[in-house]
């Protein structure tokens, strides 16, 4: 029992949920994802407004390490309709924010032959920051894709029964 005049400690509020903006479903089909890492995105104001509307295309995008920094290349964020001269370029290179130790791990993994970095999804964190999930994967061969589809259909049939 609490003493009179003492306040109860405030309960921690549950973290706000993530808001998914876009997902690259083709990447999970064409690549076998071995590892993922979440990185922050450096965006301009109009890019954030367009992302809040849910408009982004990750299909052509990939990530590359250059001069100790991670860059997102080929991701299309369309121009803001109500923008002016300050509007952004839709397919510009965007810097990803990671800790130095995470960059070193990524560099080590991508030096292995045949591994590629691609964006899997873009979301707003509970605190409102734009983030991207970068996947490190190995390209699937045609027969691997067929096996993947067969396994997926088998799981679907089992669930339906």
* Predicted confidence band of residue 69 (pLDDT cuts 50, 70, 90): very high
Model confidence pLDDT, tens digit, residues 99-155 = 999 999 888 888 887 788 999 999 999 888 999 999 998 887 777 778 888 888 899
Average pLDDT, the chain: 85
Domain positions in the chain are 19-160
Q: How many CB atoms lie within 10 A of CB 100?
A: 8
Does residue 24 contact residue 131 with C-beta atoms inside 8 Å?
no
pLDDT at 120: 93
Please check the confidence at residue 73 and state whether its pLDDT lies above 60: yes
- What is the chain's alpha carbon radius of gyration, rounded to the nearest angstrom? 20
pLDDT at 38: 93
- Provide the CATH number for the domain formed by 19-160 in this structure: 2.40.280.10
Please check the confidence at residue 157 and state whether its pLDDT lies above 60: yes
pTM (2 decimals)? Answer: 0.76
């Amino acid at each position: 029992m609490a003493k009179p005049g003492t306040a109860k400690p405030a309960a921690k509020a549950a973290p706000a949920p993530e808001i998914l903006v876009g997902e690259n479903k083709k990447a999970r089909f064409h690549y076998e994802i071995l590892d993922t890492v979440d990185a922050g995105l450096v965006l301009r104001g109009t890019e954030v407004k367009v992302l809040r509307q849910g408009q982004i295309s990750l299909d052509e995008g990939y990530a590359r390490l250059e001069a100790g920094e991670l860059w997102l290349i080929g991701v299309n964020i369309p121009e803001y309709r109500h923008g002016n001269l300050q509007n952004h370029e839709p397919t510009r290179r965007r810097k990803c924010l990671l800790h130095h130790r995470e960059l070193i791990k990524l560099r080590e993994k991508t030096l292995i032959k045949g591994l590629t970095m691609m964006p899997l999804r873009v979301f707003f964190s509970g605190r409102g920051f734009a983030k991207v999930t970068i996947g490190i994967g190995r390209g699937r061969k045609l027969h691997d894709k067929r096996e993947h589809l067969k396994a997926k259909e088998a799981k679907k049939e089992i669930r339906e029964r």
